[in-house]
Amino acid sequence: MRRYVTFALLGLGVFAVVAGLMLSVYAYPKLAKAPHDIDTISVAKGDRITALVYVPQGDRAVPEIRRDLSLTSTRKVTGDLKAEEVARDGDVTVWVEATKLVSDRDGLTVTAGVRSLCLDRHSGEMVTPCENQYYEKETGKRVKADRGEAQQPGLSFKFPFGTEKKTYRWYDGTVRQARDARYVGEDTVKDLPVYKFVQEIPSTKVDEREVPGSLVGQPGVPTVKAALHYEVVRTFWVEPVTGKVVDGSEQVKQELRPATGPATTVFEGTLKMTDETVTANVGESEENLGKLFVITTLPTVLYVVGGVLIAVSLLLLATDRPGRHLRNGGGAATRVQQPVGV
């Protein structure tokens, strides 16, 4: 009976280990993927912001620097299901992002844009070849890239499934480069455990523009050539199993710097995801964590349980030696009795 129990434990242990291996090797790559049909909206807000806005005056718009503004940024991300790179079970998808930053007071647009890129569904990084990559910061001025060119490298929408405590490269659309996003520690967002990352881009020249002299403190000059400098501190709170950014903020500053005279601040302020957006992100993360439990936590449980069962069964086999039966039961059964009366 003991041997039957031993081999049953051994079989269960081997089954548990194999099942854990199957979940890790085969199920995880199939289920831990960014969706093709994403359709999300996130909102960020900020107060006491300085910004350059264009005020309609008749048939033209006049640039004007305004202070103490309340701004709202809306970001909509959708999947391009018609893109040639999109296959139902493929590892590449195409997402389109449309953003708009407006003044709450009068609805004037501060910035707006749209972009599209191909990304790896596991890592979240931009990949090539990609026919559907472009960005457009001004209406009608779309900048497309060759299919083999990494126009928007690095991460753009999310971190990888199984995010690690290390530095990642996050794409910045203003400097048009991927820059380091450093891991800085663990945190919680609405009781959800997250990793915190910070990306810091120091003051960088990103453009050179012809602007009205009045905009840079030179009212007597019709137009002045000025360099546009940009800096940002961007913070991400990331749920590490799914790689979803559940909360985020951007502290941004932009200056126009003419060849002579002081710089003029054309944007300065902080935008942070609204509580409604964060709550929705946390809820979505918790839902996806439940779905991914089978392929993330369960394999570890199976490995541990299977290892214990195998160890116990091997120990039972080692202590259940045939010699033990011969010394105890066998000797008693073959004992020879002496004849009576000898």
pLDDT in tens, 27-52: 555 678 999 999 999 999 999 999 99
Please tell me the least confidently modeled range out of 156-160, 186-190, 308-312, 322-326.
322-326
**DSSP 3-state assignment of 76?**
strand
Report whether pLDDT(119) > 80: yes
Query: pTM for the complete prediction?
Result: 0.81
Q: Has residue 328 been placed in a domain?
A: no
Do both 237 and 301 map to the same domain?
Answer: no
pLDDT the model gives residue 338: 44
Report whether pLDDT(342) > 60: no
Q: Mind listing the pLDDT tens digit for each residue in 218-249?
A: 888 889 999 999 999 999 999 999 999 999 99
Contacts of residue 93, defined as CB under 8 A and 6 or more positions apart, other chains included, come to 34, 35, 36, 79, 85, 86, 118, 119, 121
Please name every residue paired with 73 in a beta bridge, in sequence order, or none if there are none.
44, 101
Q: Has residue 201 been placed in a domain?
A: yes
Q: Mind listing the pLDDT tens digit for each residue in 251-288?
A: 999 999 999 889 999 999 999 999 999 999 999 999 99
Would you give the DSSP letter of residue 36? S
Side chain identity at residue 227, one-letter code: A
Report whether pLDDT(126) > 60: yes
Alpha helices in 32-84 (DSSP H): none
pLDDT the model gives residue 34: 94
Other beta carbons less than 10 A from residue 256's beta carbon: 22
Do both 100 and 244 map to the same domain?
Answer: yes
Q: Mind listing the pLDDT tens digit for each residue in 327-341?
A: 454 444 444 444 444
Q: Has residue 333 been placed in a domain?
A: no
Total tally of structural domains belonging to the chain: 2
Do both 147 and 39 map to the same domain?
Answer: yes
User: 28 or 212, which is more confident?
Assistant: 212
CA dihedral sign of residues 29, 31, 35, 37 = positive
Measured at the alpha carbon of residue 238, what is the angle toward residues 29 and 293, in degrees to the nearest 5? 40
When computed from its CA atoms, the radius of gyration of the chain, rounded to whole angstroms, is 32
Do both 211 and 247 map to the same domain?
Answer: yes
Do both 240 and 298 map to the same domain?
Answer: no
Token pair in block for residue 125: 């990084």
pLDDT the model gives residue 336: 43
Do residues 199 and 163 lie in contact, with contact meaning Cβ atoms separated by under 8 Å? no
> Look-up: residue for tokens 């910045």?
172
Whole domain around residue 102: which residue ranges? 32-273
Q: Has residue 326 been placed in a domain?
A: no
